[in-house]
Amino acid sequence: MQANQDYARTFEERDQPDKHPAKHVAVLACMDCRIQVEEILGLNPGDAHILRNAGGIVTDDVVRSLILSYRFLGTREIVVINHTECGLLGLFDDQLRKELALETGRDTGDLKFYGFLDLESNLQSQVQKIKESPFMPQHIVVHGLIYDVRTGLLQRVV
């Protein structure tokens, strides 16, 4: 809260970027705190819509946000970033659901964590989900990148 108070003291509405992403880009990345999306892509505030979740997974909610981004706010490109040493790499959803059920005594139902075994295959799958969505236009360009948390380098995969 103190940081927000400090920010608000110098806040000028006229200095804020437009709601439309200036570079017409939306980025989906993992929530891992080692990934500073704007910095690794050289983006400034207002350049792109940044979506984050565990694993950089294309869920229904991500598709919803991407639809709104292109349909109403001018996005023409989408970048999906997965990364090395991801916590979902090697995670088994069934095992985690069982552990949670034992710990909480509650039914975990069909709770999904989207664990995966191969980083590159997972990234390709996420890009494909976007491209195959019947609600995403064919002219939207979708990139798939892997971020190396040890070197800071991005590798283009898709």
Instruction: For the chain, list the strands marked E by DSSP.
Output: 25-30, 48-53, 77-83, 141-147, 154-156
Instruction: For 1-153, list the strands marked E by DSSP.
Output: 25-30, 48-53, 77-83, 141-147
Domain that holds residue 117: 2-156
Q: pTM of this prediction?
A: 0.92
Mean pLDDT rounded to a whole number for the chain: 95
DSSP annotation of 18: P
Q: Out of 2-6, 17-21, 134-138, 144-148, which region has the weakest mean confidence (pLDDT)? A: 17-21
CA distance 104 to 73: 42
Tens of pLDDT, residues 46-104: 999 999 999 999 999 999 999 999 999 999 999 999 999 999 999 999 999 999 999 99
Q: Residue 141 belongs to a domain with what CATH number?
A: 3.40.1050.10
CA distances from 12 to 5, 37, 134 (A): 13, 24, 40
Per-residue pLDDT, averaged over 134-152, amounts to: 97
The pLDDT of residue 14 is above 70: no
Q: Which residue do the tokens 């910095």 mark?
A: 39
Query: How many C-beta atoms lie closer than 10 Å to residue 134's C-beta?
Result: 4
**Domain count of the chain?**
1
CA distance 158 to 155: 9
